[in-house]
Amino acid sequence: MASTQTSRSSQFVQGQDALIPPWRDAGLRYFAYNFALRSRFGHRVQKVSIDAGFTCPNVDGTVAIGGCTFCDNRSFSPSRRVPRQGVSEQIKDGINRLKRRYKCDHFTAYFQPATNTYAPVSRLRPLYREALEHPQVVALAIGTRPDCVPDDVLDLLEEVGRDTFLSVEYGMQTIHNRSLDWMNRGHHHESFLDAVQRSRGRGFEICAHLILGLPGESREDMLASAQELARLNLDAIKIHNLYAVKNTKLAEQVEHGEVELMNRDDYIRTLVDILEILPPTMIVERISGEAPQDYFIGPSWCLDKPAVRRVLEAELNRRNSWQGKCFTPDSAKG
Protein backbone atom coordinates (compact mmCIF):
# COMPACT_ATOMS: atom_id res chain seq x y z
CA MET A 1 0.00 0.00 0.00
CA ALA A 2 1.09 3.62 -0.45
CA SER A 3 2.77 5.34 2.45
CA THR A 4 0.67 7.52 4.72
CA GLN A 5 2.46 10.63 3.55
CA THR A 6 1.86 9.85 -0.12
CA SER A 7 -1.79 9.10 0.53
CA ARG A 8 -2.32 12.35 2.39
CA SER A 9 -0.58 14.54 -0.17
CA SER A 10 -2.72 13.07 -2.96
CA GLN A 11 -5.86 14.28 -1.21
CA PHE A 12 -5.33 17.81 -2.61
CA VAL A 13 -5.70 19.40 -6.00
CA GLN A 14 -4.32 22.74 -7.06
CA GLY A 15 -6.88 25.52 -6.71
CA GLN A 16 -6.76 29.09 -7.91
CA ASP A 17 -5.03 30.51 -4.86
CA ALA A 18 -4.15 27.48 -2.71
CA LEU A 19 -4.33 23.73 -2.44
CA ILE A 20 -8.03 22.87 -2.23
CA PRO A 21 -9.02 19.56 -0.63
CA PRO A 22 -11.37 17.53 -2.83
CA TRP A 23 -13.94 17.25 -0.04
CA ARG A 24 -14.44 21.01 -0.30
CA ASP A 25 -14.83 20.74 -4.05
CA ALA A 26 -17.55 18.19 -3.27
CA GLY A 27 -19.43 20.79 -1.21
CA LEU A 28 -18.44 19.42 2.21
CA ARG A 29 -17.27 21.52 5.14
CA TYR A 30 -15.17 18.81 6.79
CA PHE A 31 -13.32 15.71 5.64
CA ALA A 32 -16.10 13.22 6.32
CA TYR A 33 -15.33 9.54 6.77
CA ASN A 34 -17.70 8.28 4.06
CA PHE A 35 -16.15 10.65 1.55
CA ALA A 36 -12.67 9.42 2.49
CA LEU A 37 -13.67 5.77 2.08
CA ARG A 38 -15.30 6.33 -1.29
CA SER A 39 -12.25 8.28 -2.44
CA ARG A 40 -9.93 5.48 -1.38
CA PHE A 41 -11.94 2.41 -2.41
CA GLY A 42 -14.30 3.77 -5.07
CA HIS A 43 -17.40 2.48 -3.29
CA ARG A 44 -19.16 2.38 0.07
CA VAL A 45 -17.38 0.51 2.87
CA GLN A 46 -19.08 -0.36 6.18
CA LYS A 47 -17.48 -1.42 9.46
CA VAL A 48 -18.40 -4.77 10.94
CA SER A 49 -17.59 -5.05 14.64
CA ILE A 50 -15.53 -7.95 15.98
CA ASP A 51 -15.11 -8.99 19.61
CA ALA A 52 -11.92 -11.03 19.95
CA GLY A 53 -12.38 -11.50 23.70
CA PHE A 54 -9.74 -9.07 24.90
CA THR A 55 -9.72 -7.21 28.20
CA CYS A 56 -7.88 -4.00 29.23
CA PRO A 57 -5.00 -3.37 31.62
CA ASN A 58 -7.18 -1.07 33.72
CA VAL A 59 -9.72 -3.88 34.05
CA ASP A 60 -7.50 -6.87 34.86
CA GLY A 61 -5.47 -5.02 37.50
CA THR A 62 -2.27 -4.53 35.51
CA VAL A 63 -2.48 -0.72 35.83
CA ALA A 64 -5.85 -0.29 37.57
CA ILE A 65 -9.16 -2.04 38.23
CA GLY A 66 -12.70 -1.18 37.24
CA GLY A 67 -12.00 0.05 33.71
CA CYS A 68 -12.65 3.56 32.45
CA THR A 69 -15.25 5.54 34.39
CA PHE A 70 -17.57 5.78 31.37
CA CYS A 71 -17.02 2.32 29.92
CA ASP A 72 -19.36 -0.60 29.41
CA ASN A 73 -18.12 -2.32 26.26
CA ARG A 74 -21.57 -3.75 25.54
CA SER A 75 -22.81 -0.22 24.90
CA PHE A 76 -19.99 0.57 22.47
CA SER A 77 -20.01 -2.55 20.35
CA PRO A 78 -22.81 -4.70 18.87
CA SER A 79 -20.55 -7.74 19.16
CA ARG A 80 -20.54 -7.49 22.96
CA ARG A 81 -24.33 -7.67 23.15
CA VAL A 82 -24.60 -11.23 21.82
CA PRO A 83 -22.84 -14.50 22.73
CA ARG A 84 -19.31 -14.35 21.37
CA GLN A 85 -18.53 -16.37 18.24
CA GLY A 86 -15.33 -16.87 16.32
CA VAL A 87 -13.99 -14.05 14.16
CA SER A 88 -15.25 -15.54 10.88
CA GLU A 89 -18.73 -16.17 12.27
CA GLN A 90 -18.95 -12.64 13.67
CA ILE A 91 -17.99 -11.16 10.31
CA LYS A 92 -20.55 -13.30 8.49
CA ASP A 93 -23.35 -12.39 10.89
CA GLY A 94 -22.32 -8.73 11.00
CA ILE A 95 -22.33 -8.46 7.21
CA ASN A 96 -25.77 -10.06 7.03
CA ARG A 97 -27.12 -7.48 9.52
CA LEU A 98 -25.49 -4.55 7.74
CA LYS A 99 -26.80 -5.62 4.35
CA ARG A 100 -30.33 -5.28 5.67
CA ARG A 101 -29.63 -1.58 6.25
CA TYR A 102 -27.14 -0.61 3.54
CA LYS A 103 -26.40 -1.38 -0.07
CA CYS A 104 -22.84 -2.47 0.52
CA ASP A 105 -20.57 -5.34 -0.52
CA HIS A 106 -17.27 -4.23 1.02
CA PHE A 107 -16.41 -4.10 4.70
CA THR A 108 -13.82 -3.10 7.27
CA ALA A 109 -13.27 -5.70 9.98
CA TYR A 110 -13.26 -3.59 13.14
CA PHE A 111 -11.69 -5.07 16.26
CA GLN A 112 -13.64 -2.75 18.52
CA PRO A 113 -14.40 -3.59 22.17
CA ALA A 114 -11.66 -3.55 24.84
CA THR A 115 -7.94 -3.32 23.93
CA ASN A 116 -7.29 -5.19 20.71
CA THR A 117 -3.50 -5.34 20.89
CA TYR A 118 -3.43 -6.50 24.51
CA ALA A 119 -2.08 -10.00 23.88
CA PRO A 120 1.06 -11.73 22.61
CA VAL A 121 1.77 -11.54 18.89
CA SER A 122 1.24 -15.31 18.70
CA ARG A 123 -2.42 -14.75 19.60
CA LEU A 124 -2.95 -11.51 17.65
CA ARG A 125 -1.62 -12.61 14.26
CA PRO A 126 -4.09 -15.47 13.61
CA LEU A 127 -7.04 -13.30 14.71
CA TYR A 128 -6.14 -10.47 12.34
CA ARG A 129 -5.39 -12.92 9.52
CA GLU A 130 -8.67 -14.74 10.00
CA ALA A 131 -10.54 -11.47 9.55
CA LEU A 132 -8.69 -10.72 6.33
CA GLU A 133 -9.55 -14.11 4.86
CA HIS A 134 -13.18 -13.08 4.34
CA PRO A 135 -13.55 -12.14 0.65
CA GLN A 136 -15.64 -9.03 1.38
CA VAL A 137 -13.23 -7.59 3.95
CA VAL A 138 -11.14 -4.89 2.27
CA ALA A 139 -9.64 -3.22 5.35
CA LEU A 140 -8.89 -3.68 9.02
CA ALA A 141 -9.43 -1.29 11.95
CA ILE A 142 -7.99 -2.00 15.38
CA GLY A 143 -8.99 -0.08 18.48
CA THR A 144 -6.45 -0.03 21.29
CA ARG A 145 -4.75 1.95 24.05
CA PRO A 146 -1.47 3.80 23.53
CA ASP A 147 0.17 1.91 26.40
CA CYS A 148 -0.52 -1.47 24.77
CA VAL A 149 1.60 -1.40 21.60
CA PRO A 150 5.05 -2.82 22.36
CA ASP A 151 7.46 -2.87 19.45
CA ASP A 152 6.75 -6.49 18.48
CA VAL A 153 3.03 -5.66 18.20
CA LEU A 154 3.84 -2.61 16.06
CA ASP A 155 5.98 -4.87 13.87
CA LEU A 156 2.94 -7.12 13.43
CA LEU A 157 0.71 -4.15 12.58
CA GLU A 158 3.25 -3.02 10.01
CA GLU A 159 3.19 -6.52 8.53
CA VAL A 160 -0.61 -6.48 8.33
CA GLY A 161 -0.55 -2.99 6.83
CA ARG A 162 1.53 -4.26 3.93
CA ASP A 163 -1.30 -6.60 2.95
CA THR A 164 -4.37 -4.42 3.49
CA PHE A 165 -5.49 -0.95 4.44
CA LEU A 166 -5.11 -0.77 8.22
CA SER A 167 -6.27 1.89 10.67
CA VAL A 168 -5.02 1.77 14.26
CA GLU A 169 -7.21 3.76 16.64
CA TYR A 170 -5.57 5.08 19.79
CA GLY A 171 -7.73 6.26 22.67
CA MET A 172 -6.10 9.58 23.47
CA GLN A 173 -9.36 11.05 24.86
CA THR A 174 -7.64 14.21 26.19
CA ILE A 175 -4.16 15.62 26.69
CA HIS A 176 -4.91 16.57 30.30
CA ASN A 177 -3.53 14.07 32.78
CA ARG A 178 -5.94 15.14 35.51
CA SER A 179 -8.82 14.10 33.23
CA LEU A 180 -7.12 10.80 32.40
CA ASP A 181 -6.81 10.18 36.14
CA TRP A 182 -10.49 11.04 36.63
CA MET A 183 -11.53 8.44 34.07
CA ASN A 184 -9.26 5.80 35.65
CA ARG A 185 -7.40 5.46 32.39
CA GLY A 186 -4.22 4.07 33.89
CA HIS A 187 -1.86 6.04 31.64
CA HIS A 188 -0.99 9.67 30.91
CA HIS A 189 -0.67 11.65 27.69
CA GLU A 190 3.02 10.80 27.44
CA SER A 191 2.01 7.23 26.56
CA PHE A 192 0.00 8.51 23.61
CA LEU A 193 2.89 10.60 22.34
CA ASP A 194 5.21 7.61 22.63
CA ALA A 195 2.81 5.33 20.74
CA VAL A 196 2.34 7.86 17.93
CA GLN A 197 6.08 8.41 17.60
CA ARG A 198 6.76 4.66 17.35
CA SER A 199 3.83 4.13 14.95
CA ARG A 200 4.82 6.71 12.36
CA GLY A 201 6.21 5.49 9.06
CA ARG A 202 4.93 1.94 9.51
CA GLY A 203 2.39 2.09 6.68
CA PHE A 204 -0.85 2.18 8.64
CA GLU A 205 -3.29 4.98 9.37
CA ILE A 206 -3.15 6.53 12.85
CA CYS A 207 -6.50 7.61 14.28
CA ALA A 208 -7.04 9.31 17.67
CA HIS A 209 -10.16 9.38 19.85
CA LEU A 210 -11.07 12.69 21.51
CA ILE A 211 -13.80 13.16 24.14
CA LEU A 212 -15.45 16.54 24.65
CA GLY A 213 -17.26 17.50 27.85
CA LEU A 214 -15.04 15.81 30.42
CA PRO A 215 -15.70 17.11 33.97
CA GLY A 216 -13.54 20.10 34.82
CA GLU A 217 -12.42 20.74 31.25
CA SER A 218 -13.09 24.22 29.91
CA ARG A 219 -13.52 25.15 26.27
CA GLU A 220 -9.86 26.19 26.29
CA ASP A 221 -8.85 22.78 27.67
CA MET A 222 -10.75 20.99 24.89
CA LEU A 223 -9.23 23.24 22.23
CA ALA A 224 -5.78 22.53 23.67
CA SER A 225 -6.34 18.81 23.06
CA ALA A 226 -7.40 19.55 19.49
CA GLN A 227 -4.40 21.82 18.96
CA GLU A 228 -2.14 19.00 20.07
CA LEU A 229 -3.73 16.69 17.52
CA ALA A 230 -3.32 19.37 14.86
CA ARG A 231 0.34 19.65 15.80
CA LEU A 232 0.78 15.88 15.58
CA ASN A 233 -1.01 15.98 12.18
CA LEU A 234 -2.46 12.49 12.45
CA ASP A 235 -4.37 10.74 9.69
CA ALA A 236 -7.81 10.62 11.34
CA ILE A 237 -9.81 11.58 14.40
CA LYS A 238 -12.95 10.37 16.16
CA ILE A 239 -14.66 13.10 18.19
CA HIS A 240 -17.51 12.43 20.55
CA ASN A 241 -19.28 13.85 23.54
CA LEU A 242 -19.04 12.30 26.98
CA TYR A 243 -22.20 10.26 27.46
CA ALA A 244 -23.36 7.98 30.25
CA VAL A 245 -24.48 4.36 30.02
CA LYS A 246 -25.87 2.12 32.72
CA ASN A 247 -23.74 0.16 35.17
CA THR A 248 -20.82 2.57 35.10
CA LYS A 249 -19.29 4.90 37.63
CA LEU A 250 -20.18 7.82 35.38
CA ALA A 251 -23.84 6.80 35.51
CA GLU A 252 -23.73 7.05 39.31
CA GLN A 253 -22.01 10.45 39.14
CA VAL A 254 -24.64 11.79 36.73
CA GLU A 255 -27.46 10.42 38.87
CA HIS A 256 -26.05 12.11 42.00
CA GLY A 257 -25.46 15.42 40.22
CA GLU A 258 -21.69 15.15 40.46
CA VAL A 259 -21.20 15.33 36.68
CA GLU A 260 -23.15 17.48 34.22
CA LEU A 261 -23.16 16.22 30.65
CA MET A 262 -22.56 18.69 27.84
CA ASN A 263 -25.63 20.16 26.12
CA ARG A 264 -25.95 20.08 22.35
CA ASP A 265 -25.47 23.78 21.66
CA ASP A 266 -22.23 23.95 23.65
CA TYR A 267 -21.03 20.74 22.04
CA ILE A 268 -21.70 21.93 18.48
CA ARG A 269 -20.03 25.30 19.07
CA THR A 270 -16.95 23.59 20.52
CA LEU A 271 -16.93 21.00 17.74
CA VAL A 272 -16.85 23.71 15.08
CA ASP A 273 -14.05 25.50 16.94
CA ILE A 274 -12.11 22.25 16.88
CA LEU A 275 -12.76 21.49 13.23
CA GLU A 276 -11.45 24.94 12.32
CA ILE A 277 -8.03 24.20 13.82
CA LEU A 278 -7.61 20.63 12.55
CA PRO A 279 -5.60 20.10 9.38
CA PRO A 280 -7.78 19.65 6.27
CA THR A 281 -6.05 16.32 5.56
CA MET A 282 -7.31 14.76 8.83
CA ILE A 283 -10.26 12.43 8.24
CA VAL A 284 -13.13 13.05 10.68
CA GLU A 285 -14.42 9.56 11.33
CA ARG A 286 -16.95 10.55 14.00
CA ILE A 287 -18.61 13.79 15.13
CA SER A 288 -20.62 12.54 18.11
CA GLY A 289 -21.22 9.49 20.27
CA GLU A 290 -24.30 7.47 21.19
CA ALA A 291 -25.32 4.12 22.63
CA PRO A 292 -28.32 1.76 22.38
CA GLN A 293 -31.32 2.98 24.35
CA ASP A 294 -31.29 -0.15 26.53
CA TYR A 295 -27.95 0.97 27.94
CA PHE A 296 -28.22 4.73 27.55
CA ILE A 297 -28.68 7.37 30.26
CA GLY A 298 -27.80 10.68 28.63
CA PRO A 299 -27.55 13.23 27.14
CA SER A 300 -30.64 12.44 25.09
CA TRP A 301 -29.74 14.74 22.21
CA CYS A 302 -26.92 12.53 20.97
CA LEU A 303 -29.30 9.66 20.20
CA ASP A 304 -30.56 11.59 17.17
CA LYS A 305 -27.49 11.45 14.96
CA PRO A 306 -29.15 12.97 11.85
CA ALA A 307 -30.21 15.98 13.95
CA VAL A 308 -26.65 16.37 15.27
CA ARG A 309 -25.34 16.42 11.70
CA ARG A 310 -27.97 18.96 10.65
CA VAL A 311 -27.18 21.28 13.55
CA LEU A 312 -23.45 20.95 12.87
CA GLU A 313 -23.95 21.82 9.20
CA ALA A 314 -26.15 24.77 10.17
CA GLU A 315 -23.50 26.13 12.52
CA LEU A 316 -20.75 25.68 9.94
CA ASN A 317 -22.90 27.52 7.40
CA ARG A 318 -23.82 30.26 9.86
CA ARG A 319 -20.17 30.90 10.61
CA ASN A 320 -19.08 30.32 7.00
CA SER A 321 -16.61 27.89 8.45
CA TRP A 322 -14.89 24.65 7.47
CA GLN A 323 -12.28 22.21 8.70
CA GLY A 324 -8.84 23.76 8.62
CA LYS A 325 -10.06 27.36 8.35
CA CYS A 326 -7.69 28.39 11.16
CA PHE A 327 -5.03 25.74 10.51
CA THR A 328 -1.60 26.81 9.29
CA PRO A 329 1.31 24.54 8.35
CA ASP A 330 3.36 26.09 11.15
CA SER A 331 0.88 24.73 13.70
CA ALA A 332 1.67 21.19 12.54
CA LYS A 333 5.37 21.49 13.32
CA GLY A 334 6.87 19.94 16.39
Domain hosting 56: range is: 4-328
pLDDT of res. 39: 95
**pTM listed for this prediction:** 0.91
Nearest to 325 by CA among 269, 276, 275, 279: 276
- The answer to whether 290 touches 302, Cβ cutoff 8 Å, is yes
Give dist(CA 94, CA 74) in Å, integer. Answer: 15
| 122 domain-assigned | yes
Q: With a cut of 70, which residues of the chain have pLDDT below it?
A: 1-18, 73-83, 330-334
Query: What's phi and psi for 123, nearest 5 deg?
Result: -90, -35
Long-range CB pairs of 312-318 (<8 Å, 24+ gap) are 312/268, 312/271, 312/272, 312/287, 313/29, 315/268, 315/269, 315/272, 316/29, 316/30, 316/272, 316/275, 317/29
Amino acid at 240: H
Instruction: Give per-residue pLDDT as tens, 9-46.
Output: 344 443 334 578 999 999 999 999 999 999 999 999 99
| 140 domain-assigned | yes
pLDDT of res. 114: 94
| 334 domain-assigned | no
pLDDT of res. 301: 96
| 32 domain-assigned | yes
pLDDT of res. 334: 46
Instruction: Give per-residue pLDDT as tens, 155-201.
Output: 999 999 999 999 999 999 999 999 999 999 999 999 999 999 999 99
| 53 domain-assigned | yes
Q: CA 321 from chain center: how many Å?
A: 23
Q: What angle is formed at CA 314 by the lines to CA 227 and CA 208, rounded to 5 degrees?
A: 30
Give dist(CA 153, CA 156) in Å, integer. Answer: 5
pLDDT of res. 74: 59
| 333 domain-assigned | no
| 118 domain-assigned | yes
What Cα–Cα distance (Å) separates residue 167 from each residue in 37, 205, 313? 12, 4, 27
Give dist(CA 121, CA 126) in Å, integer. Answer: 9
Instruction: Give the domain CATH number at 207.
Output: 3.80.30.30
- The answer to whether 21 touches 11, Cβ cutoff 8 Å, is yes
Number of structural domains (the chain) is 1
Give dist(CA 256, CA 166) in Å, integer. Answer: 42
R_g of the chain computed on alpha carbons: 19
